[in-house]
Every structure is written in structure tokens, then in C-alpha cells.
Chains A and B, each alone.
Chain A
Amino acid sequence: KAGVTQTPRYLIKTRGQQVTLSCSPISGHRSVSWYQQTPGQGLQFLFEYFSETQRNKGNFPGRFSGRQFSNSRSEMNVSTLELGDSALYLCASSLTTGGDGSPLHFGNGTRLTVT
């Protein structure tokens, strides 16, 4: 079974631009979560989608948004990029929305560099 697939692996953008990252979950997984990883802040939760609905959101500005499609694939969008948005963005999928401790399965991430 294929794992979580994130595209692209690397992105370089300029301040003020916007970017869209893509995530395809493991087949059959309906929950997709996004995390931002930086050396200073570590791993921080961005948001989670289940059946096309945002279920939880982390403490990030409104410039960060996402959506999930009917096939469970998810996209994350960051508008008006800032230098501080440079990070590794990780996507994770799961069978359920939690409560049963089902593990999250992560992709390889998208490394975003903002110049």
C-alpha cells in the first residue's frame, strides 16, 4: 500500500507570494493533518481535515488555509508569504479522527524556503 505522498518536495518562493502544497493520504484514510516543523518552534499543528471538513485548527494566522477533497486528498495554502514561513511542512493521514489512538502516518514533507 502506498504511503502518504506530498508534492512538491522542495519549493522556493519570494516574500508576498502564495504557495499551495499537496498531500495524498494512504488509501482508505479519511483524516489528514498538517504540521509545520522549524528549528526554533519544533513541530506545530496547523489543521486537520476529515471527510472534507476542517475538524481542528492550530494557532496560525488566517494566511494559512487548507481544504480536503472528496477523494481525501488535501491541499494547504499559504498566502502573502513571510520569511518566517520557511519550514518543513508535514502531512499525516489516519484512519480515524482520533480518540482511539490510531497512529498518524507521515509523508516526507515539503521544504518551503521563502526569500
Chain B
Amino acid sequence: AQTVTQSQPEMSVQEAETVTLSCTYDTSESDYYLFWYKQPPSRQMILVIRQEAYKQQNATENRFSVNFQKAAKSFSLKISDSQLGDAAMYFCAYRSGIQGAQKLVFGQGTRLTINP
């Protein structure tokens, strides 16, 4: 079974600085997808960024980028120019590439605080 581990329960950063959230995963599959979701106090899980395992290029979405190390099974999220609105719980998630495998496996989450 696949597992996802986020080793940082809490992180804090000064506004406008850069922060990196860590995520490691375990799988024997070669085809899969990785996601970072953000959950603010409104409770809605919002997709931040998505990475296909077969792509070597790291995904980027505006201020958010990932460092995907497939051999090390590592998938960290970098947030540049942190803003107050970035404060939330961040979840790393894994999904198999097998057709019909819709299930997401989540890490335990990292609570990110932005200090003004």
C-alpha cells in the first residue's frame, strides 16, 4: 500500500519570504500523480499544484513550485513571496496512475503560519 509522510506538523515564515514544505512517499508503482492541496479555515481543499511522475520537469504554478525527486520519493513544495492568504493546512497526496484508481492517499498535513 502507498503511504505519504509529511514530517513537519507546523511551519512558520515571515511574509514575503520563501518556505519549503516536505513530503515523502512510498510506492512500488512507476506511474502515479502527486498533488499538494491547501485547506484554509473555510475547510475546502484547494488544489495547489500537480505533478506527473513520468515528467522530470518540476511543476510550477505562479509562486508555488515543487522539487520532485522520483528516485528519493520526495515531493517538496516551495512557496515564494509568502502572503498572508497562504496560511493554511497543506496536504501532500498521492494517486495511482492505474485506470479506476481514483483514491487519494494523503499525508498528515503541515500547518503553515505566515507572520506579518
Question: Do these two chains interact?
Answer: yes
- B52 near A99: Cβ-Cβ < 8 Å: no
Complex Cα–Cα for A94 and B95 (A): 13
- B102 near A31: Cβ-Cβ < 8 Å: yes
Q: A43-B106, A97-B102, A106-B44 are in contact. List 20 more A-B contacts (CB 8 A).
A: A3-B44, A31-B102, A33-B104, A42-B107, A45-B103, A45-B104, A48-B102, A55-B102, A88-B43, A92-B104, A97-B99, A98-B95, A98-B96, A98-B98, A99-B100, A101-B50, A101-B52, A104-B45, A108-B44, A109-B43
**A70 → B minimal CB distance (Å):** 19
Q: Does B90 contact A (CB under 8 A)?
A: no
Q: A residues near B, CB below 8 A?
A: 3, 31, 33, 35, 42-43, 45, 48, 50, 55-56, 58, 88, 90, 92, 94, 97-101, 103-109, 111
- A56 near B44: Cβ-Cβ < 8 Å: no
Total A-B pairs, Cβ < 8 A: 73
Complex Cα–Cα for A35 and B98 (A): 20
- A97 near B100: Cβ-Cβ < 8 Å: yes
